[in-house]
Chains A and B, each alone.
Chain A
Amino acid sequence: MGRRIGRRAFLAGLGALSGAWAAGCRRRAAISRAPLPPGASPAPTPPPAVEPPPVPNAAQAQRYQGVQLTYYGDSVGIGAELDQQLGARFTQDTGIAVRVIPRPQSASEAYATYLRFFQARSAAIDVLLIDIIWPGAFAPHLLDLRPFCAGEIDQFYPALIANNTVADRLVALPWFADVGLLYYRVDLLERYGFAAPPATWEELEVQARRIVAGERAANPVFTGYVFQGNAYEGLTCNALEWLASVGGGRILERGRVTIANPAAAAILDQARGWVGLIAPRGVTTYQEDDARNVFQAGNAAFMRNWPYAYALAAGPASRVAGRFGVAPLPAAPGQPRVGTAGGQQLAVCQYSRAPEAAVELVRYLTSAPVQVYRALRGSFLPTRPAVAADPRVLAAEPFLGPLQAVERVTRPARDAGARYNQVSTAFFQGVNQVLNGADAVQLLPRVARRIERALA
């Protein structure tokens, strides 16, 4: 038996340890706030206290008081926090308890989770957040919302409603739209003498190389361009933008696999050249938040990401607040400026034990006041034209106007149906191999054959 430590000595030791730990935690550098350079997108100015709006359909919803709903909601960025607050407000106004569970971060993981629940015909989920590419695959397991929301359907963008309608059943209501954007550092462009953000991929390389060469001396980990290069669905979005912006096709067109073409091979080989030169070598392991963390800490000149990153990069915890802007992604000369269409829809599970209460929650979350609230607080793009024209939303999302020029390109989920996951996996694994050093000209035909086998 060792020597017993006296009580005083023990407490003194504990106090010393706590003090050391607290001192270590307080090492946050002060955020420098330079004056706004000309051309920078202004930071969104949220009204002083933005509260979740009252529930417009509270009267109908109160009929289901006391019901407990489970909502599988957002887990990326600020969405999770907003989900919690909206759920609490809904409970406060209607008496329906809402349990908010953040679904898995990676889209592939969330898909697998839902599939497991559907296979078991589980009543564990009532309301779920589904990606824009999933209505086709999940339609048999989702409730038809048409009888419940007949009056509101034409208040959404028709293209999104059409995307969510499978065999004349509206299986999900569009909640927010997403499109891939180029974030750029306005102060660095100005410092190195560039008048505007890059319009072509070659211009991006030139600008990034010059900025990196200049900044590396002061910041050895500074990098040029960060994007989502990990082997997951996000890479399908990035790579589709590369392909569509140079005339390389859109993976599946009218049932035929079109990726094995010279333009696609050329842009993928060009992207492979970025890795290690203007993009960090580890970019092939980055997802959305990895790229955002690098850009937000001031360690990157350009970033490709979804609009959710705007509010976070302009917020108080960011080192680039007031020093960045947004623009459409570059494209080859003569080709359209594109962005992959993303966004999430809200659906009600077919096997839910309280479908009417779940529909009321969906109607609240997709209502116009809530979409304004989410646009102001989280820079989520609205799915109602009326909300997109609201002056408060336009002030909060200054890029909303210019982005009307971006052509939304969609992933081939409709063509692939329930096999979309296999198609996408074959595609993103191939692109990831190219980014890691493989030759696109040789790899693309093999990827095309894999996709064809998956669809057979």
Chain B
Amino acid sequence: MSEVVVPRPRVPTAGAPRAGAPSLAARQARLAWLLLSPSLTVVLLVAIFPLVQTVVLSLTTARLASPEPARFVGLSNYAALLGDYLFWQSIGVTLQFAVITVSGEFVLGLFIALLVNAQFRGRGLVRAAMLVPWAIPTVIAAQMWKWMYHDVYGVVNDLLVATLGVLPANVAWLADPTTALAVVALVDIWKTTPFVALLLLAGLQVIPEELYEAARVDGASALQQLVQITLPLLRPAILVALVFRTLDALRVFDVFYVMFGERPDTMTMAIYNQETIVAFADVGYGAAISMVIFLIIGICVVAYVTLLRVEAP
């Protein structure tokens, strides 16, 4: 019998590129850029363009609603900023506030998260109730606390002096410079501890229960479990909570503004910035202040991420 040779049909091998056509990787990269372009455009418009405009404005003498045009003056706004005592004082106030509130919120938030992580009846209700301070708008809460701390008709003084007799006379909590920062820090801690607690609670729930069982079998005390199991495994959540809270604390405006207005000894960086741009209509100088605040916050974030770098196991 003679063999019939059937010519094999030409099947194109998968992956073999045609001459001159882009590779799959390149095609996928182009598709990725195409799909990302809408969000990149939004980020460009909303974040990058105002940033560039602020940098440009900080090099001029622009003023709000002024008939004279802005002049280019180079770095003289920044030079004036270096000698501005009020600005440095506001940086000091903001940093003090940030240190007090972030550490206070972290400690309290961790304590509350550990508490609420345990099993007990009514846990769902407690978790919901604990978020109420965070849910109230800051301006309203600040005004409410301002009335509560009033030195003549405030509830706090009434409670401490008239009802409990802890203090001999009414204290002007907001007016006295020694208590003012503590008071506003307390208000901020009251308001944002639930937020930190929530972030840490989420981190706590990821830690497997078996680790604690093994530790208990090995005879570890509760404190040893906390320090050697909980805290190290909680590091990513701690980093997130600290970065969020530090950024918010460095940019604080509403609580201070409602309670103190433009008082010089309780002025934060953001209030000084707002006063310069809005009350004084000095946009050029205000833009320089904005850039310096941006740099300060950037440095803090980089420091955090470097110090708390989460290494892969």
Contact = CB atoms under 8 A, between A and B. Distances in A.
A441 B217 CA distance: 72
A116 interface: yes
A429 B264 contact: yes
Interface in B64-118: 64-67
Given A221-B170, A418-B281, A421-B279, A433 B265 contact: yes
A119 interface: yes
A454 B275 CA distance: 14
A58 to B, nearest CB: 35
Contacts of A285: 172, 174-175, 260
Nearest to A140: B67
A108 B265 contact: no
B280 A425 contact: yes
A355 B231 CA distance: 67
Nearest to A108: B279
B262 interface: yes
B176 A281 contact: yes
Tell me which of B66, B264, B275 has the highest count of chain A C-beta atoms within 10 A of its own C-beta: B264
Contacts, number: 91
A119 B65 contact: yes
B264 A422 contact: no
Contacts of A112: 278-279
B151 interface: yes
Q: Is the interface of A mostly helix, strand, loop or mixed?
A: helix
Interface residues of A, number: 37
Contact of B281 (A115, A290, A433): A115
B150 interface: yes
Contacts of A299: 152-153
A281 B172 contact: yes
Contacts of A141: 65
Contacts of A108: 262, 279
Nearest to A117: B65
Nearest to B125: A2
B177 interface: yes
A232 B278 contact: no
B261 interface: yes
A294 B152 contact: yes
Contacts of B177: 436-437
B65 A231 contact: no
Nearest to A113: B278
A399 interface: no
A411 to B, nearest CB: 16
Contacts of A238: none
Contact of A281 (B67, B175, B260, B262): B175
Nearest to A230: B261
B30 interface: no
Contact of A280 (B67, B151, B261, B265): B151
A85 interface: no
Contacts of B176: 281
Contacts of B278: 112, 115-116
Given A111-B279, A422-B280, A281 B151 contact: yes
Nearest to B277: A112
Contact of B65 (A118, A223, A422): A118
16 contacts: A111-B279, A116-B64, A116-B278, A232-B261, A281-B171, A282-B152, A284-B263, A294-B152, A297-B153, A299-B152, A299-B153, A421-B280, A422-B280, A425-B280, A429-B262, A436-B265
Interface of B: 63-67, 150-153, 161-162, 169-172, 174-177, 260-265, 275, 278-282
Given A140-B65, A421-B279, 15 more contacts: A108-B262, A115-B64, A115-B65, A281-B172, A282-B150, A282-B172, A283-B175, A285-B172, A285-B174, A285-B260, A299-B152, A418-B63, A422-B282, A429-B263, A432-B264
3 A-B pairs with least C-beta separation = A282-B151, A281-B172, A282-B172
Interface of A: 106, 108, 111-112, 115-116, 118-119, 140-141, 220-221, 223, 230-232, 280-285, 290, 293-294, 297, 299, 418, 421-422, 425, 429, 432-433, 436-437, 454
